[in-house]
């Protein structure tokens, strides 16, 4: 029976048309072997010609001038501002201290710091916990897989250095981890409890809200409290976390009196804030943007130091708009405001503030800035509904001296009011384009 191309499956026909021979079946009926052999023989010139053409094209590419690869992170049907959504360049951003001089110039650092070391975020957290364990025998570290270093390697080598009695694994029970930590804190220890992902902290919500936060209110008259408790957890989207590995639950904890809620943006900040949290006499929920664990790298002082809790940081002075954020979105905010300043012209100047501590909120710094600029935009990755942005807006508008100076409504750029979908995760978090559009809209109001 003569061989026909229609006998070849569609996928193999596509390969054949591209110059590749179709895969031969494992066994061929005797009546068809001659036809297949003939077809294979007759296709040799065609394949040779195709291979020759492919080689010529490859040679042409090698001899032509090399051009930068095309990088497009937006749809051709998207608005023009979507072209701003390029990857964050952490190697050059001024939000990270790329030199020892820049790191040591931090005003909040204690005088005398003179040596720095290049660290990423998880290394800075590891360094902070090692410092705390070395300084105080009351410090403990425990959680799921903590003994071998943890999922993100934040506790790497700490058990080897400080022993299994102080750095150890726990069962897979978030409620048990936090409950045990509260008991340790109540007895004078300073436990660091790790929740492997913030998405799984909810079984421990009862322990944090009804026990840790209320301990001092209930037994403070007898000198009992759960101060010294630090609960660490990685949070935020990474691009493929979807429903159960991308959540940012900081606003839930910020609703609870008696807890402090902290979220750093950089390695230098993470070390200083974590040491401050461990030494603090209030229970602290310490959230770590996991997308920055390896991406954010900077010079970090080797000596022990703390950064003040509940004190915002003005990263860039400005006159016309105040942009407030925390954690990873700060990098997108900086890119957006730089582009807005360049495009609008007329001396547009945008101020950028890092909250650092979500609760208690540094209202004084926010109000002072907005009284100057008259406009405010709040950016955060967590859902927009009932979020940190709403609380910041209320804090600004409830103060009469700040309210009368507003030139535009307080705007919010945040995660949409939906659970994070896997296929559309990158569209759910604030990006440069959305922040840029918010700045222009606020300025033109």
List, by residue number, the catalytic residues: 174, 245
Judged by phi (left if over 0) then psi (alpha if -120 to 50, else beta), residue 233 lies in beta
Q: How far, in Å, CA of 124 to CA of 438, rounded?
A: 34
Report in angstroms the alpha-carbon separations of 372 from 318, 377, 402, 436: 9, 14, 9, 21
Do 280 and 227 form a contact (C-beta atoms < 8 A)?
A: yes
Three-state secondary structure string covering 156-214: CCHHHHHCCCCEEECCCCHHHHHHHHHHHHHCCCEEEEECCCHHHCHHHHHHHHHHHCC
Nearest C-alpha neighbor of 335 from the set 414, 428, 412, 432: 432
Q: How far, in Å, CA of 438 to CA of 376, rounded?
A: 10
Question: Strand runs (DSSP E) across 338-410, as ranges?
Answer: 350-354, 357-359, 376-383
Nearest C-alpha neighbor of 154 from the set 200, 116, 120, 179: 120
Q: How far, in Å, CA of 189 to CA of 184, rounded?
A: 5
Report in angstroms the alpha-carbon separations of 406 from 56, 151, 231, 377, 426: 66, 46, 38, 12, 32
């Amino acid at each position: 029976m003569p061989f026909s191309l229609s006998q070849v499956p569609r996928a193999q026909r596509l390969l054949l048309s591209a110059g590749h021979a179709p895969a031969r079946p494992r066994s061929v009926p005797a009546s068809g072997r001659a036809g297949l052999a003939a077809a294979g023989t007759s296709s040799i010139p065609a394949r040779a010609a195709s291979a020759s053409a492919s080689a010529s094209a490859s040679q042409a590419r090698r001899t032509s001038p090399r051009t930068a690869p095309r990088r497009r992170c937006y749809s051709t049907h998207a608005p023009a501002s979507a072209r701003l959504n390029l990857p964050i360049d952490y190697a050059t951003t001024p939000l990270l201290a790329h030199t020892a001089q820049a790191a040591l110039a931090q005003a909040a650092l204690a005088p005398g710091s003179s040596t720095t070391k290049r660290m990423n975020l998880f290394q800075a957290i590891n360094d902070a916990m090692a410092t705390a364990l070395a300084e105080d025998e009351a410090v403990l570290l425990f959680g799921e897989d903590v003994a071998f270093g943890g999922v993100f390697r934040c506790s790497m080598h700490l058990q080897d250095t400080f022993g299994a009695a102080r750095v150890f694994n726990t069962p897979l029970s978030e409620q048990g981890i936090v409950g045990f930590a509260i008991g340790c804190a109540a007895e004078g220890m300073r436990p660091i409890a790790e929740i492997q992902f913030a998405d799984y902290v909810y079984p421990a919500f009862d322990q944090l809200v009804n026990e840790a936060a209320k301990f001092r209110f209930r037994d403070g008259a007898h000198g009992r409290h759960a101060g010294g408790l630090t609960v660490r957890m990685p949070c935020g989207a990474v691009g493929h976390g979807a429903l159960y590995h991308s959540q940012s639950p900081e606003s839930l904890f910020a609703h609870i009196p008696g807890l402090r809620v902290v979220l750093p943006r950089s390695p230098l900040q993470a070390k200083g804030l974590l040491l401050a949290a461990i030494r603090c006499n209030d229970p602290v929920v310490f959230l770590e943007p996991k997308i920055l664990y390896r991406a954010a790298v900077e010079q970090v002082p080797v000596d022990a130091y703390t950064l003040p809790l509940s004190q915002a940081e003005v990263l860039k002075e400005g006159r016309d708009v105040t942009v407030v954020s925390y954690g990873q979105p700060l990098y997108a905010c900086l890119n957006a405001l730089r582009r807005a300043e360049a495009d609008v012209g007329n001396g547009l100047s945008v101020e950028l503030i890092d909250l650092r501590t979500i609760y208690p909120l540094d209202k004084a710094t926010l109000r002072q800035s907005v009284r100057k600029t008259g406009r405010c935009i709040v950016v955060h990755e967590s859902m927009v509904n009932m979020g940190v942005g709403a609380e910041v807006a209320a804090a600004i508008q409830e103060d009469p001296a700040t309210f009368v100076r507003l030139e535009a409504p307080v705007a919010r750029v945040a995660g949409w009011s939906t659970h994070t979908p896997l296929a559309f995760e990158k569209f759910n978090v604030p990006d440069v384009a959305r922040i840029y559009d918010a700045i222009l809209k606020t300025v033109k109001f």
